[in-house]
Structures are given as C-alpha cells and as structure tokens.
Amino acid sequence: MVLRDTLLYLAQNDNLRNFVITNSATRSVSRRFVAGEALDEAIEATRVLNQRGMHVSLDHLGENVSDDREARAATQDFITVLDAIKQAGIDANISIKLTALGLDISQQLCEENVRRLLEHAHKYSIFVRIDMEGSPYTEQTIDITLRMHQQFEHVGTVIQSCLYRSRKDVEQLIAQGVRVRLVKGAYKEPRTIAMQEKKDVDHSFVQLMMMLLLRGNYPAIATHDEAIINATCKYARDHGISKEAFEFQMLYGIRRDLQEKLVKQGYNMRIYVPYGSQWYPYLMRRMAERPSNLMFVMSNALR
C-alpha cells in the first residue's frame, strides 16, 4: 500500500514529471512501452509490428477530462487516428476510454462522442474497443457498449476477470454477439467486489476464457501469463476451435519474445500500442494500480 501510494503521488508530481520527460535516459526507457508522443510515431510502430505479422490496437493516451471542449477534442483526436489508419493502409483498430470522451461530465455527452466516433469508424470498417476502467465505470461501460452495439457491430469492450460480476457480464455480452477482450484487471479494487488473490483471479480468467472461446465472437485473450496462454491453446485444440477464431493480445514492449513465438505458431497476435504526451502518468498509474507491475515491467525490459 505504501508503494502504491508513493507511485500515485509521483504520477501527479509535476517536478518529477518534468525531469522524467526531459531526461534522455528515462525517455529512452519509456519508448520501450509507449510508441511515442506523436501519431506518426505510433503509425510507424504499427507498420513495424505489422511487418512482424502482428495486428495493433492504437490508444491515444488520455482520460478523465473535465469539460466539454476537452471531450470533443479527444473525440476529434480519435477521428484523426481513424483517418491516419486508413490513409497509411496499416492493420490497426483503436481503443478508447469513455472518461476521455466525457463520461465524468455526462453520459449523454459521452454517448454523443462515442456515436460520432463509431459512425466515422464504420466508413472505414475499423473496429473500436471501449476500454474498461475502474469499477465505478463498469456498469456504464457495459450499458453503453450494448446500446452502441445495437447500431454498430464494429464495437466491443473489455472484461476484467478479477471482478465477481464478470461471469454475468460475459454471458450478457456473448448473448448479444459483442466482441470481448479478457484481462485480469490492473486496478486496485475493494475485496467486496473483486478477488484479491492471484490464484482466484487466474482461475476466473481461465473459466471466462473457456466461455468466450466456446461461444464468444472472436474473443481477445489479453495476457502475458504463459500458463494461461498454454491453457488457452490447449482448450482451443481440445475443442476443435480454429486459431482464426480468437486472438491473443499483449502490451507494446512487454514479452516481445512470447509475442513472436505465438505468431510463429500461427496464432493471431494484437499489440496494444499507447502513444501521446501523457505517457508519464500512464506508466506510473499502471504500476500504481498494482505495484507488483513495477517488478514485472522492470524484469521484462531486459527481455
């Protein structure tokens, strides 16, 4: 808890932020996990990953905007990303956060911005993933996704296996044919609504993975956990599920060796590629959400 609080404090510390983003050594380290600050850098990173046989999901970093103008500007930024994907001819979709599109301001504003994005994405046949944020947003995220999916088939969302409610949510999303990215969940959630032990989260992940592979619509199994990846591959083989029926997803810069191994084995691999000027708080908050990520990131930086 002390480490978590320290990391959250550092994420908001302007003096440290200024030092980190202007220091050549720390900027170099950040580029392992963030594609850059500008869209053209993210496009180039995507092109390189495509050449290695990997798909991409682009995420323009930013969340929790506080006024209408910021929300509409974020929406326009994503429209620009969609245009750039089409113009560059790269293999990529996008991931968005509802709080970046105004959910903290009003759900009506957020839905207007999401609909505008989906209408633009529809013209290019580009899939849009609505990211899952902390548990205060879970219900709204599911509801908005289901409502949007009634009009736009090219939208999906994310489910965190750590939450007790996730089995019910997965059943609902499967019934509606919504594409799901399955993750363990990086947010620190209260024990009243979320599993606290890794073994329980992992067990839940495997159970949800089996549901999604068997009955879901092109699910994304997002994990760097080799035991779970092996369990996924075995379940698919044992049940005659084609490698084309699902994909693995991993974070940009983490376990590149495993990414390449799975591609060579014929599995679909999509890399989550974040970019933007807010890379410093993105990295710090990711580690703060679950401080064990700090050692995970440090150890994987050497792979």
Using only C-alpha atoms, the chain has a radius of gyration, in whole angstroms, of: 18
**Residues annotated as catalytic (active site), given as ranges:** 131, 181
Q: What average pLDDT does the chain have?
A: 88
Residue type, 134: G
Does the pTM exceed 0.75? yes
Could you read off the pLDDT of 134-145 as tens digits, one per residue? Answer: 999 999 999 999
Q: For residue 299, what are its two tokens?
A: 């150890």
Higher pLDDT, 179 or 196: 179
Q: pLDDT tens for residues 48-92?
A: 999 999 999 999 987 788 899 999 999 999 999 999 999 999 999
pLDDT of 34 above 90 = no
CA dist 237 to 136, 241, 245, 301, Å?
Answer: 37, 6, 12, 32
Q: Residue 126 has what pLDDT? A: 98
Set out the domains of the chain in order of their start, with CATH numbers: 51-281 (3.20.20.220)
Question: At 44, which helix (H) or strand (E)?
Answer: helix 39-51
Is the pLDDT at 294 greater than 70? The verdict is no
For residue 183, give the H/E element and its range.
strand 179-183
Instruction: Bin 215: left if φ > 0, else alpha if -120 < ψ < 50, else beta.
Output: alpha
Pick 112 or 66 by higher pLDDT.
112
**In the numeric block, which tokens belong to residue 38?**
């500008």
